[in-house]
Amino acid sequence: MTDSQPEIQMIPVSSITVLNPRSRNKRLFQELVQSIAKLGLKKPITVSRSKEDSYNLVCGQGRLEAFQALGQSRIPAVITPGQMARMEREMAALQQHFKAVDATYGDDVLVLVIAVGYLSKLVANRKVERYLSQHHSEILTQFQSIISAASLDRDGAAAA
């Protein structure tokens, strides 16, 4: 095996885990299945070894799913080295974390906007402001910090 041509191995389709699955266009997927059925697989999938007889998919989910749709039990694959496999697992974990953060971002912003609006009205009430100033100045300072930080965010977004 040379550095320019990686070794291709036939591995069981059932031993491959897709860590970061993606949805596919059904029409394009059917075209891929028909192409592989007619011409064969032009490019092997890429996997990393996760355990003795199991692999994580790095690249080629569509090709893997097409092989499964065709009832194939083994697929040509390039197996990446261990350090690359670790990096790929970390990237998959990072992508999952990003998806989780992205999924809750809108709700978090909405809650923040509501909270800032409430705090602004609360601090604008002179009686409340005076009471907090005399009895809980640290809370008043925190409320004012939150309000000013949110207004800076709005000013920055308006300028952009």
pLDDT bucket at 8, cuts 50 / 70 / 90: confident
Count the domains in the chain: 2
Model confidence pLDDT, tens digit, residues 40-80: 999 999 888 887 788 888 889 999 999 999 999 999 998 88
Cα separation of 82 and 79, whole Å?
Answer: 9
Domain match, 110 and 145 both: yes
Is 87 a member of any domain? no
Q: Which pLDDT score is estimated for 15?
A: 93
Q: Which pLDDT score is estimated for 2?
A: 46
Q: Which pLDDT score is estimated for 71?
A: 95
Domain match, 119 and 65 both: no
Strands in 45-51's sheet, in edge-to-edge order, are 8-12, 74-80, 45-51, 54-59, 16-17
Query: 84 φ, ψ to 5°?
Result: -65, -40
Is 97 a member of any domain? no
Is 86 a member of any domain? no
Number of H helices, E strands in the chain: 5, 5
Pick the closest to residue 153 from 123, 109, 111 (CA basis): 109
Res. 160: pLDDT tops 60:
no
Q: Which pLDDT score is estimated for 159?
A: 54
Q: Which pLDDT score is estimated for 13?
A: 94
Residue at a domain's end among 80, 114, 140: 80
Looking at every residue in the chain, the average pLDDT score rounds to 84
For residue 63, what is the domain's CATH number? 3.90.1530.10
Is 2 a member of any domain? no
Is 18 a member of any domain? yes
Q: Kindly state the percentage of the chain with pLDDT values over 90.
A: 41
Res. 87: pLDDT tops 70:
yes
Pick the closest to residue 116 from 159, 73, 68, 149 (CA basis): 149
Cα separation of 55 and 59, whole Å?
Answer: 12
Domain match, 67 and 113 both: no
Q: Which residue has the tokens 């809650």?
A: 111
Is 92 a member of any domain? no
The larger pLDDT score, comparing residue 24 to residue 123, is at 123
Q: Strand 74-80 to strand 45-51: parallel, antiparallel, or no bridges (unpaired)?
A: parallel
Task: State the residue range of the domain holding 109.
Answer: 104-159
Is 37 a member of any domain? yes
Domain match, 13 and 64 both: yes
Domain match, 71 and 127 both: no
Is 13 a member of any domain? yes
Domain match, 116 and 52 both: no
Domain match, 120 and 71 both: no
Domain match, 36 and 76 both: yes
Pick the closest to residue 18 from 52, 50, 42 (CA basis): 50
Model confidence pLDDT, tens digit, residues 114-126: 989 999 999 999 9
Domain match, 19 and 69 both: yes
Token readout for 110 is 């909405």
